[in-house]
């Protein structure tokens, strides 16, 4: 991973934190979709976007950084969202590698973000079980996840560049 | 070049994998450590500082984006203003009636020598940040320790009880909502006078648990705080009873509208006998053989006349 990509990833992490902060602003939270009351999950959006860059310690550290920040904002146990992001990133990487090897007809990116999202939720549930959370997975969280996946193709280029030649 | 080619074909990168696995294990350890209440308590100052930062940034964002609300909510705002104007007219009549009744009630209480509910003050604050994540339902208000707000204070809005303050920063306080799983509030029915514990439930708002006489609960009955914990004033409206498949729950009054301005109320100033003794400088001493003495009526009479020792002691 070259320096430009690293800097871009870092700026993407800052952007993810801004998204997370704006989600805590009551006015903005209710403005776009007042009935659904949902907000994209910043750390998952960031983690799933970095999957296409391949495996990278730098990306993993930044995911943990965004996740810890989200833990503070969302009053979650420290490490819960970071673990969820890391699970999503890891599962997305595995899915991407496996499906790319299987067949060219499989929409690798789509499948990898779906699998990454599910792994992220499982990681969050695990974190909740460990740290004493309850009823972690509920309808509102699924709504947030759908919001996240809906915004993925729109926002992910801001987090990580679309460049297949990148090696990390 | 060779390194680049190795990565392109997806050759295993053991160092990177080990690093990511190590980070994941460290995070699991961090989560495990937090199952201890001591560790969670030690993290409170850091979280309080973070609440302050969050509230500052949210406040700035609110201020910046407030001008764009008309894009989304112009019609709704106008309707809301009309509705509030009509409510103000109605409330003015109620205010006069309430003042008259309060004066009469004070007179009655004086005549009966009745210990009424203490009148308590409070602080009005605005909600400037919210957290509705999978782990907690809470809000941050812009009043903190410098405004006299402390942990355990009750929080109400124009409809009823919202929750309680669980953490106070310098100028901010975090409010745990009634819908949060960790919320436990003693409540009572206005009609049935049944007492129970209100437990937060993210799906339906809040459930009534451990009701003393559940068969007396009436559908649609108004439930209020019972004040049994000594933290909340008695009679704060909480919601209305509704029965579903899983039992009784409350349609929370606070969920009628978005939460904006709130009133933060201190606990009623009941003084326990122990606190009173301490404040008078007369600390209670533990019972011992020396100060535990039984005394019959005859002995007491004799001791008053200077006849015998109390309790037969030399």
Residues B79 and B40 reside in one and the same domain: no
Distance from CA of B204 to the nearest CA of A (A): 12
Q: Which of residues 125-144 of B touch A (CB under 8 A)?
A: 127-136, 138, 140
Residues B55 and B89 reside in one and the same domain: no
**pLDDT at residue B309 in the model:** 41
- Looking at the predicted structure, is the pLDDT value of residue A77 above 70? yes
Tens-place pLDDT, residues A87-123: 999 999 998 888 877 766 668 888 888 999 999 999 9
d(CA B200, CA B180): 5
Q: Between B234 and A104, where is the model more confident?
A: B234
In a domain, B37, yes or no: yes
Least confident of B48-62, B66-80, B139-153, B187-201: B66-80
Which residues of chain B does A74 touch, with a Cβ-Cβ cutoff of 8 Å? 131, 133, 135-136
- Looking at the predicted structure, is the pLDDT value of residue B204 above 70? yes
Residue B265 φ then ψ, to 5° = -110, 135
Please report the sign of the dihedral spanned by the C-alpha atoms of residue B257, residue B258, residue B263, residue B265: positive
Residue in B with minimal Cα distance to A90: B20
Helix (H) or strand (E) holding A64: helix A57-73
In a domain, B144, yes or no: yes
Residues B39 and B99 reside in one and the same domain: no
Please report the sign of the dihedral spanned by the C-alpha atoms of residue A153, residue A156, residue A161, residue A164: negative
Question: What is the mean pLDDT of the segment spanning B259-274?
Answer: 78
Q: Between chains, do A21 and B181 touch, taking CB under 8 Å as contact?
A: no
Residue spans of the domains in chain A: they are 3-27+39-159
Which residues of chain A does B128 touch, with a Cβ-Cβ cutoff of 8 Å? 26
Q: Which residue in this structure is represented by tokens 């460990």? A: A130
| Boundaries of domain holding B50 | 18-65
Residues B33 and B141 reside in one and the same domain: no
Contact B165, B155 (CB under 8 A): yes
In a domain, B12, yes or no: no
Taking Cα atoms as reference points, which of B62, B87, B257, B231 lies closest to residue B159?
B257
Q: Between chains, do B203 and A138 touch, taking CB under 8 Å as contact?
A: yes
Residue B127 has its nearest CB partner, among A26, A101, A124, at A26
Residues B186 and B246 reside in one and the same domain: yes
Q: Between chains, do B50 and A73 touch, taking CB under 8 Å as contact?
A: yes
The encoded tokens of residue B77 equal: 């705002």
Residue in A with minimal Cα distance to B31: A131
Contact A60, A89 (CB under 8 A): yes
Residues B149 and B228 reside in one and the same domain: yes
In a domain, B191, yes or no: yes
Q: Does B114 touch chain A (CB under 8 A)?
A: no
Residues B180 and B212 reside in one and the same domain: yes
**pLDDT at residue B234 in the model:** 86
The domain total for chain B is 3
Question: What residues contact residue A72 under an 8 Å CB cut-off, 6+ apart?
Answer: A78, B46, B47, B50, B54
Distance from CA of B253 to the nearest CA of A (A): 18
Query: How many CB atoms are located within 10 Å of the residue B18 CB?
Result: 11
Q: Between B176 and B214, where is the model more confident?
A: B176
Which of the four pLDDT bands, split at 50, 70 and 90, describes residue B73?
Answer: low
Tens-place pLDDT, residues A3-37: 888 888 899 999 999 888 888 877 666 565 555 56
Residue A134 has its nearest CB partner, among B4, B132, B181, at B181
Which residues of chain B does A78 touch, with a Cβ-Cβ cutoff of 8 Å? 30-31, 34, 43
Question: What is the mean pLDDT of the segment spanning B110-130?
Answer: 77
Contact A92, A51 (CB under 8 A): yes
Taking Cα atoms as reference points, which of B275, B271, B229 lies closest to residue B115?
B271
d(CA B57, CA B65): 12
Residues B112 and B178 reside in one and the same domain: no
Which residues of chain A does B181 touch, with a Cβ-Cβ cutoff of 8 Å? 134-135
Question: What is the mean pLDDT of the segment spanning B257-277?
Answer: 75
Q: Which of residues 53-112 of B touch A (CB under 8 A)?
A: 54, 57-58, 61-62, 65-66, 68-69, 71-73
If you compute the radius of gyration of chain B from its CA atoms, what whole number of angstroms results? 29
The CATH number linked to B134 is 2.40.10.340
Question: What is the mean pLDDT of the segment spanning A67-79?
Answer: 88
Residue in A with minimal Cα distance to B201: A135
Residues B155 and B256 reside in one and the same domain: yes
What is each CA distance from B161 to B87, B176, B177, B252, B253, in whole angstroms?
20, 11, 9, 8, 7
**pLDDT at residue A87 in the model:** 94
Residue in A with minimal Cα distance to B63: A27
d(CA B261, CA B123): 11
In a domain, B141, yes or no: yes
Residue A79 has its nearest CB partner, among B30, B174, B202, at B30
């Amino acid at each position: 991973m070259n320096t430009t990509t690293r800097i871009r990833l870092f700026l993407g992490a800052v952007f993810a934190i801004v998204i997370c902060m704006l989600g805590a602003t009551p006015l903005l939270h209710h403005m776009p979709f007042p009935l659904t009351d949902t907000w994209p999950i910043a750390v998952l959006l960031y983690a799933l976007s970095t999957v296409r860059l391949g495996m990278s310690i730098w990306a993993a550290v930044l995911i943990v950084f965004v996740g810890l920040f989200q833990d503070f904002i969302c009053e979650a146990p420290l490490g819960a969202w970071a673990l969820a992001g890391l699970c999503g990133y890891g599962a997305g990487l595995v899915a991407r590698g496996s499906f790319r090897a299987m067949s060219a007809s499989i929409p690798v990116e789509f499948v990898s973000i779906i699998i990454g999202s599910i792994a992220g939720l499982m990681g969050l549930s695990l974190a909740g079980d460990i740290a004493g959370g309850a009823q972690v997975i509920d309808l509102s969280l699924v709504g947030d996840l759908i919001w996240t996946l809906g915004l993925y193709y729109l926002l992910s280029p801001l987090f990580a560049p679309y460049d297949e030649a990148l090696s990390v | 070049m060779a390194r680049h080619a190795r990565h392109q074909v997806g050759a295993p990168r053991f160092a990177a994998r080990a690093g990511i696995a190590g980070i994941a294990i460290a995070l699991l350890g961090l989560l495990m450590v937090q199952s201890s209440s001591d560790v969670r308590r030690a993290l409170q100052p850091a979280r309080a500082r973070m609440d302050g930062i969050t509230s500052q940034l949210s406040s700035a964002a609110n201020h910046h984006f407030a001008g764009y609300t008309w894009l989304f909510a112009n019609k709704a705002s106008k309707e809301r203003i009309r509705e509030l104007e009509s409510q103000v007219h109605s409330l003015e009549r109620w205010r006069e009636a309430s003042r008259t009744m309060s004066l009469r009630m004070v007179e009655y209480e004086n005549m009966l020598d009745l210990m009424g509910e203490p009148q308590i003050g409070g602080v009005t604050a605005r909600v400037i940040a919210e957290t509705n994540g999978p782990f907690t339902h809470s809000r941050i208000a812009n009043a903190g320790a410098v405004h006299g707000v402390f942990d355990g204070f009750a929080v109400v809005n124009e409809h009823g009880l919202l929750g309680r303050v669980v953490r106070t920063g310098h100028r901010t306080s975090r409010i745990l909502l009634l819908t949060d799983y960790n919320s436990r509030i003693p409540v009572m029915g206005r009609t049935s006078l049944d007492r129970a514990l209100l437990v937060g439930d993210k799906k339906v708002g809040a459930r009534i648990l451990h009701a003393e006489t559940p068969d007396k609960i009436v559908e649609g009955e108004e439930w209020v705080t019972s004040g049994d914990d000594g933290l909340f004033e008695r009679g704060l409206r909480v919601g209305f009873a509704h029965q579903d498949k899983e039992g009784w729950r409350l349609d929370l009054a606070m969920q009628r509208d978005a939460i904006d301005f709130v009133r933060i109320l201190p606990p009623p100033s009941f003084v326990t006998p122990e606190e009173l003794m301490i404040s008078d400088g007369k600390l209670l001493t533990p019972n011992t053989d020396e100060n535990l003495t039984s005394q019959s009526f005859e002995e007491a009479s004799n001791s008053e006349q200077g006849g015998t020792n109390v309790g037969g002691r030399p």
